[in-house]
Structures are given as C-alpha cells and as structure tokens.
Amino acid sequence: MFTYLAHASLLHRLNPSMKLLGVAVVAAGATAAFAPFIPAMLLLALWLTAWRLGRVPWRTMLRWSIPLVLLPIPVALFNALYADLSRFPHPHILWQWGYWTLSAEGLWMGLGLGLRVAVFVAASLLFVATTDPTDFALSLVQNLKVPPRFGYGVLVSYRFLPLLQREFAVIRMAHRVRGVGEGRGVRGWVEKIRRYAIPLLAAAVRKSERTALAMDARAFGALPRRTYYRQMVIHKQDVLFVMALGAYVAIVYAVALHFGLAHLQWIPE
C-alpha cells in the first residue's frame, strides 16, 4: 500500500496537481457528511476509479480493500459505546453493561465516521498509486507555484519511504542469517523495535546527508529562477476529471437529501 504503480492509464497521464485537486474535492465531500450513505458512495467511486481508470490490478484492489472494509468496524463500535444518547429523544438500546451502552443511533453515527476515514485512506491510495513522485514535485513547483525547496522536499519524502522499507528488509534478513530470532509477545515486539530502530535511524541520517550533498553539488537554490527539462501542462482532460468528481459529489448529496439519507442523526422507526 501507498506505493506508486507504473501503468499507462488515464489517471497516470493526468496532471498531478489537478489530480490532487480532484481527490481533495472528494475528501471535502466526505468531511461534510456524517451519515454513512454519502461516504459509502464516495468510497465506491474512488475504488472504481482506481480500478478502471487507474488500471490498478484486481488482486491489488482486493488487498487494499481489506483495511478499508475493516476500518469502519472498530470506529463504529467505539463511537457507539461512548455516544451521547441524550441527543436522542428515544434511543434504541441494543446492549448495556455498566457504563457501556450500545445503541442503534451510536452504531449509525460511528459507521458514518468510520466510512469517512476510509474515504480519506482510499483517496490517498488512489493518488499515490497513480502519481509519479517526480511529476508530482514538478507539478507542485510549476503549476501550484510552491517554492522549489518545499516541492523537492516532498519528492525526497516520497523516495525515502521505499528506501527505508528496503533497508528494513535487508536488516531483517541480516538478523536471520546471523541466527537472531524474533521473540513473541509484548517483550519480543519491544526487543524487535529496539534492534531495528537504531540501524534504520542511522540509515535515514546517512541517506539524508547524501541527499543534501547531492543537492549542494548541483547548486540547488543558488539561482532565483530555475529551468526545467520537463514541463508540466494542465490539459483539458485534467479539468474534466476535476469537474466529473465535483459533479459526482454533488449528485450523491442531491440523492442523499432527496431520500433523507443525509441527516446528522438517525432515529429508526
């Protein structure tokens, strides 16, 4: 998850800044919704967009869908157990034990909150999986006029996560070759973190120093204006993509309002 997948798809050809704007529109639509219907429809749209327009493999989509499906469950249960039932005139109690009360209204509100979080995760997955990190940095600088230091800082952050993942795999294999086993339970988990944290931190510092030296060697930031070999242009299809997502969000809200599925509170019959 959260890894760039290189494909020749429509989403891969879109301008990264406009793609980010379109994803932000969907995320904003989920932010303003508290009932489960709206974030569920937005989550479905993101899933289908990544699959059909982004050409993300079917098996990869299923693997990504597991946390997106399981994520709302604990959020809904936790929110339902601690929901303020005084807001409802006649709450429907499903289960009660001590200070914990499980109600239909709390589950409904919790499910909406969990689906909102799932929408944010799915939007991030769609953007990261279909956006080349270099194109994203160039688009930030050229199209959104972000200062080059911040734009290329985003690129470095993008590149560092896969490097640290490979570094972790190398350290883990080195421990196995030397016969260092991984214990079980809390004590084994703490010991594993201690053995991996220091080498990973040292590797991160070493790579950061090399990156800084490489940028200084190329006179990064020495001149007020920069030239670019690759020019990031906003095309008509980029604008249409943002407009299509905005129209879909508006349609979902219109349907929810028409059928009474956008209420902040739900009281079952």
Number of domains in the chain: 2
Name the residue range of residue 173's domain. 147-230
Q: Tens-digit pLDDT profile for the chain (269 aa)? A: 667 888 889 999 999 999 999 999 999 999 988 888 999 999 999 999 998 899 888 888 888 888 878 877 887 778 777 776 666 666 667 777 767 777 777 778 788 888 998 999 999 989 989 999 889 988 998 999 888 878 887 787 777 777 888 888 888 888 888 877 666 777 777 777 788 888 888 888 888 888 888 877 777 777 777 777 888 999 999 999 999 999 999 999 999 988 888 765 544 44
Contact status, residue 72 vs residue 26, Cβ threshold 8 Å: no
Whether residues 39 and 165 share a domain: the answer is no
83: three-class secondary structure by DSSP: coil
254 Cβ neighbours under 8 A, 6+ residues apart: none
The maximal CA–CA distance of the chain, rounded, in angstroms, is: 70
Q: What is the number of H-type helices and E-type strands within the chain?
A: 10, 2
Do residues 85 and 91 lie in contact, with contact meaning Cβ atoms separated by under 8 Å? yes
- Residue 159: partners with Cβ closer than 8 Å, 6 or more residues away: 133
Residue 190 CB: number of other CB atoms within 10 A?
11
Same domain for 260 and 134: yes
Q: What distance in Å separates the CA atoms of residue 4 and residue 16, rounded to the nearest whole number?
A: 13
133 and 211 share one domain: no
Percent helix, strand and coil across the chain, each rounded to 5? 70, 5, 30
Model's pTM, two decimal places? Answer: 0.78
Cβ neighbours for 51, distance < 8 A, ≥ 6 positions apart: 58, 61
pLDDT of residue 143: 92
Three-state helix/strand/coil letters over 242-259: HHHHHHHHHHHHHHHHHC
Instruction: Give yes or no: residues 98 and 36 share one domain.
Output: yes
Q: Assess whether 254 and 122 both reside in one domain.
A: yes
Among residues 115, 119, 116, 124, the alpha carbon closest in space to that of 19 is found at 124
Which H/E stretch holds residue 97? strand 93-97
| Helices 148-177, 185-217: inter-axial angle, 10-degree rounding | 130
Question: Are 117 and 222 members of one domain?
Answer: no
Are 258 and 247 in the same domain? yes
d(CA 130, CA 226): 27
Q: Does residue 114 sit in the same domain as residue 4?
A: yes
Query: Do both 132 and 26 map to the same domain?
Result: yes
Q: What is the pLDDT of residue 98?
A: 67
Residues 115 and 21 in one domain: yes
Does residue 223 share a domain with residue 110? no
The end-to-end CA distance of the chain, in Å, is: 41
d(CA 141, CA 229): 13
The pLDDT of residue 268 is 46
Under 8 Å between Cβ of 3 and 213: no
* 161 and 239 belong to one structural domain: no
